[in-house]
Chains A and B, each alone.
Chain A
Amino acid sequence: MATLAGAQTTPYAGANVWRTVLEWLTTVDHKKIGIMYLWAAGAFGLVGMAFSLVMRTELAQAGTIISAETYNSIFTMHGSVMIFLFLLPVGAAFMNYSMPLQIGALDMAFPRINALSFWIFLFGGALLAMSFAVEGGTASAGWTAYPPVTLDTGNNAEPPGAGMDMWLVGVILLGQASIFGSVNFLVTIFKMRAPGMTMWRLPLFTWTTLVTGLLILLSTPVLAAALVLGFIDRNGAEGAFFDPANGGQPLLWQNLFWFYSHPAVYIMILPAMGIVSDVFGVFTRRPIFGYRSMVLALVGIGLLGFIVWAHHMFTTGGVFLPFFMGATFLIAVPTGVKMFNWIATMWRGSNVFPTAMLFSVGFLMLFLIGGITGVFHAAVPVDFALHDTYFVVGHFHYTMSIAATFGFLAGCYYWFPKMFGKFMNEGLGKLHFWLLFIGVNLVFFTQLLLGLDGMPRRINDYVANPGWELMNMLITIGAFVSAAGMMVFLYNVFYSLKWGERAGSDPWEGTTLEWATTSPPPAHNFDSLPEIRSERPLFDLRFGERLQDDPHYHVNNGHNGNGHGRGGTAQPSESAREEG
């Protein structure tokens, strides 16, 4: 158990502030890059939340407070920031930080590209932020930016200004950062695993990183193509691609955009799913139920995710409906498999509920509603009624927005001790959880009802009927309750960084390799690694002896040839690189 002990000095306790700053600015250490991603994405997330509060203030009652132009700019930037600058990079943050640790690697395969990816992301974000300062303001056609309203050609009455170009270029950069990141994740997973870490022994979070990496790699170039065409359309070609007045095809954009953006919703949710899988494994002391079916479900979701994009276009009149309806319905199956596996993991578990676990359970509850409402949308005739109403807004927030956020918050509470050597405060954590859980349900459940009642999305004012006014007021209240929850979280982060209880290497009795090193880990990650014989090497180390005679206890998942019982000694993986 030597690996579990042995404190290390924190690697970033610089001698003076400037040296520390320089060290962070020039770092190629995946852990520091991960933490920088986390801070940056967190800051963007707060900005995105502030935008949502502006929107909710405007919509609390019928009538207007801010101009339509401002509202359109704010809702566009809310979506763009939350997706491109919060959810995607927060996933990247955890994948950067934890994945190499989980597979026992020294760092990413390409540490410099990793740093480059972070700085490109930051630059892309800065470009979006700067668009507030240019004439005409930011992009204001939604995060989906459907042309021709994004173009200054044809008959568009209020053509957008330079902010739209900055948006297009900014998102191209963010996509490029994603692509760099994904190549790194994939090569690292394929080539840098520690001896014994076979593919079927990868922790589920690492599996989700792998599938996410593939999705990013295959879909983001298509988005980039669309963005480049959009940019050319605005700067020279005058709508030749997307404006029918000049022979373009507006639906072409939608096809390209969703070919990326449907997989992108999984790019955002899969890492969160990975986090809650790991959390369930730790706090139940149970193996993840159906580990292999979890992996297959992940892959299934990934594959199906590429053939359902047009379900966002059911009402365009330009889609072969039965095919996309069928494929969309099917995606509910692997989603359901994951849900049942998580529940079965807690079943007969020795469960404890620290904040990380609460957020994971919260994730299940929110994601359940998200998945069910997805089936409403999959039924095309029902989608004809619900598309572009608040029902969609409720659906996708329940899934990729708030469920994913819950997963990521679970990740914060879970890995904070590893990152900073201190626990987050549990009391504040519980308060945070309850405020947020109640707040977001008030917001998004009410949005579902509002959508059923026919209120369209993306409007800055609505007809003052009593039902809509009441529901909108409830949503606004919920939004402020959620924001209060997030303020508690913010306070908790700073409070815990300063006064948090010290955490050892393995404060949660973790199961995966990141807990086999100090908190925070040294620059080279590990001094030594335990033997890896299953997807839970530390669990084997801790309880293996005691469970020796348990017929259900399998190392190596019991699926490898000889089936039940304890497996043989570790087989160094063919592809694993030599430990330095």
Chain B
Amino acid sequence: MRAHQRLWRTRWGRLTLVMGAVALALLALSGLAQAQVALPEAVSEQGDSIRALYFLVFGIGVAVFIIVEAMILWVVFRYKRKSDDELPTQIGHNATAEILWTGIPTVIVIALFIISFFVLQDIQAAADPDEETVVVDVQGRQWAWAFNYAVPLGTDLAEAVSENPSDTEIMLEDPSLVVPFMTLKLGVEHMRVVARTGDVVTVERAVNGTVPIRHAAGSEVMRSFNGTDTVAEGRLQQADNTPIVTVPVGPMIRFNIASADVLHAFYTPQFLTKLDAVPGRVQTLWVRITEAGDFASQCAEFCGRDHARMIYTVRALEPADFEAWFADKAGSAPEPIDGDFGGEEEVEQEEGAVGNATNGQSLFFSLGCNVCHGDSGEGLVGPTIAKTIVPLDRVITQYREPLEAMTAFPPDQVSDEDVADIYAWLQTVPRPPEAAVIPSKLAELIEAGG
């Protein structure tokens, strides 16, 4: 008490007290704003574990802060030079103290390590193999998200597909089930159907930014579809359509996270976790959601100009609602088409076909095709359609009864002639290079260099 008053009288004593007050104020602030010194309420099982671990670390952190801060304030506050010729003790070490302040923190961090290790095991655990899981293929690209789902196509691979990306021909037990534009999913790899000649189905590989993977004969083939909903809530300037990923409450959800271009990160604050979308990899995030609702989310890895606008929403539905949503999105298997489609010869035939490319170009933009397919049809959320080799009549069908998430355009809005015009224009734009050129450019360079 008296020491207190004595100190208050000196200038530095006062400053010390103020410093202490600031530190205490900070602490009080954190105490008051309880909601803000904690991570958000979790809406997933894994998030709950992370949050519990957070509180443990936070508790230890606060305790350490208070103890050490008090020690600092104590020595600053208590020990002042009283006279010019004062000489303090010259004690320069103390084995007991040094062992304690090395040993205790060591024990604390080892304990934290062990606990964190088990929490990590827990939150990274995959679903039980017999448990029914929901798989969402997440694709980040500059600057949008696409969320794909898949249903069984109803047939299997007849022959193995190698991991060589130039291996773009696959054999299915029942090739009649595929149609143009369809995206096949084998394992985590997505392949887009471009042609069918007899039993041979020609695909584009690495369409989801994934590395081609070897697939054994007999592997199940899925039909992938884009299940991205959007909502025009205008949460952020210049990002008025927020993409939505819809998932159920209850079952384990497997997010397969991939990128088509640069790094992104799938981050939903209320899952209390994130995982980077690394081009060339497909990474898995397991989440079991415990609460229905819409959860604001956004890209968490810098990805260029509009990184800040890469927002999305996770929509968790009750299982029954999800089933209904899913059935609706998946639709029924597309009408099979007879005979071959795509292929070189047909392109020849279509080339120079009727149609006014100039009009086609303006329609392409006025109808908003560029929003999904890119300004020169290079493909964004929607597939690459520059120099498409799909026959014109099939393209017209796509306008009328679209496969996947494309908007339908009835004839009174876009006539067959209009489609032909657009088609003609699309034949004039350059086709972008294949997404994944592997073996690597480096190998090529080395080869070229001798």
Contact = CB atoms under 8 A, between A and B. Distances in A.
Nearest to B206: A245
B72 A364 contact: yes
Interface string A360-371: 010011001100
B274 A286 contact: no
B272 A385 contact: yes
Interface stretch (B197-205, B306-314, B398-406, B413-421): B306-314
Nearest to A326: B113
B69 A365 contact: yes
B441 A438 contact: no
Contacts of A157: 142-143, 261, 304-305
Nearest to A317: B283
Nearest to B263: A146
A111 interface: no
Contacts of A147: 262
Interface stretch (A43-51, A405-413, A517-525, A549-557): A549-557
Interface string B1-26: 00000000000100100010011001
A569 interface: no
B429 to A, nearest CB: 16
Contact of A146 (B102, B281, B302): B302
A303 to B, nearest CB: 16
A550 B92 CA distance: 12
Contacts of A490: none
B36 A452 contact: yes
Contacts of B119: 381
A348 interface: yes
Given A438-B22, A441-B26, A557-B92, A384 B272 contact: yes
B23 to A, nearest CB: 7
Interface stretch (B80-88, B318-326, B336-344, B346-354): B80-88
Contact of B98 (A293, A339, A348, A461): A293
B75 A347 contact: yes
A325 B19 CA distance: 34
Contacts of B296: 463
Contacts of B304: 72, 141, 149, 156-158
A547 B33 CA distance: 52
B211 interface: yes
Interface residues of A, number: 114
Contact of A458 (B87, B117, B302): B302
B286 to A, nearest CB: 12
A322 B119 CA distance: 11
Interface string A275-317: 0000000001111111111000000000000000000000111
Interface in B44-88: 49-50, 53-54, 57-58, 60-61, 64-65, 68-69, 71-72, 75-76, 79-82, 86-88
B28 interface: no
Contacts, number: 329
A107 interface: no
A389 B301 CA distance: 9
Nearest to A554: B92
A240 B441 contact: yes
Contacts of A547: 87, 90
Contacts of A69: 305
A248 B120 CA distance: 30
Q: Sort chain B's interface into a size bin.
A: 35 or more
B88 A348 contact: yes
A246 B22 contact: no
B410 interface: no
A503 interface: no
Contacts of B441: 237-240, 246-248
A456 B267 contact: yes
Interface stretch (B104-112, B145-153, B219-227): B104-112
Given A336-B102, A462-B308, 20 more contacts: A141-B302, A146-B301, A149-B304, A156-B261, A157-B143, A315-B275, A316-B278, A321-B120, A333-B105, A343-B71, A344-B97, A352-B80, A368-B65, A375-B112, A379-B112, A381-B123, A381-B273, A437-B19, A449-B30, A558-B92
Interface of B: 12, 15, 19, 22-23, 26, 29-30, 33, 36-40, 49-50, 53-54, 57-58, 60-61, 64-65, 68-69, 71-72, 75-76, 79-82, 86-94, 97-98, 101-102, 105-106, 109-110, 112-113, 116-117, 119-120, 123, 141-143, 211, 235-237, 260-263, 265, 267, 269-270, 272-276, 278-281, 283, 296, 298-309, 311, 435-443, 445
14 contacts: A62-B237, A72-B305, A154-B262, A157-B143, A157-B261, A250-B278, A289-B93, A318-B278, A322-B120, A343-B75, A381-B49, A458-B308, A459-B307, A552-B90
Interface of A: 62-64, 68-69, 72, 141-142, 146-149, 154-158, 236-241, 243-251, 284-293, 315-318, 321-322, 325-326, 329-330, 332-333, 336-337, 339-340, 343-344, 346-353, 358, 361, 364-365, 368-369, 372-373, 375-376, 378-382, 384-385, 387-389, 430, 437-438, 441, 445, 449, 452-454, 456, 458-463, 467, 543, 546-547, 550, 552-554, 557-558
